[in-house]
Amino acid sequence: MNIADKAKLLLADGYDEALLLFCCELTEEYIKSYCHLEEIPKGAEHLASQMAAGCYREAKDGGKAVKSVTRGDFSVTYSDGAQDVLQGYSERLNAFRKMKW
């Protein structure tokens, strides 16, 4: 089962195939670039499908998800889109990251 198939399982309410495939490719590129790897490690495949599903949800919502709310003198911060979703997984990706020389 590839990353897209696993992400489809996480999106039980239906999905747009083209957008999901784009999010999967974006996720794969992000992981490879962040970890300095040529391919996604076996141990990161489930994480990649979670990231792709999150990226899909963010793209489907139009990138206007609320990132934080401050109540004193009211303030709302909106997400910067799919990039915020992907960057949110960086701590978990550190286990797969290789040093770049």
85-97 pLDDT, tens digit each: 777 788 889 889 8
What's the confidence (pLDDT) of residue 66? Answer: 56
H/E element, 101: none
Q: Is the pLDDT of residue 69 over 80?
A: no
Q: Where are the domains of the chain?
A: 3-96
What's the pTM value of the predicted model, to 2 decimals? 0.75
Query: pLDDT class for 100, splitting at 50, 70, 90?
Result: confident
CB atoms within 10 A of CB 39: 10
Question: What does the alpha-carbon distance between residue 10 and residue 14 come to, in Å, rounded to a whole number?
Answer: 10
| Burial (CB count within 10 angstroms: exposed 0-12, middle 13-18, buried 19+), residue 9 | exposed
Contacts of 5 (CB under 8 A, 6+ apart): none
Name the residue type at position 18: A
Mean pLDDT along residues 26-40: 92
Q: Is the pLDDT of residue 16 over 60?
A: yes
In the numeric block, the tokens 């792709």 are attached to 52
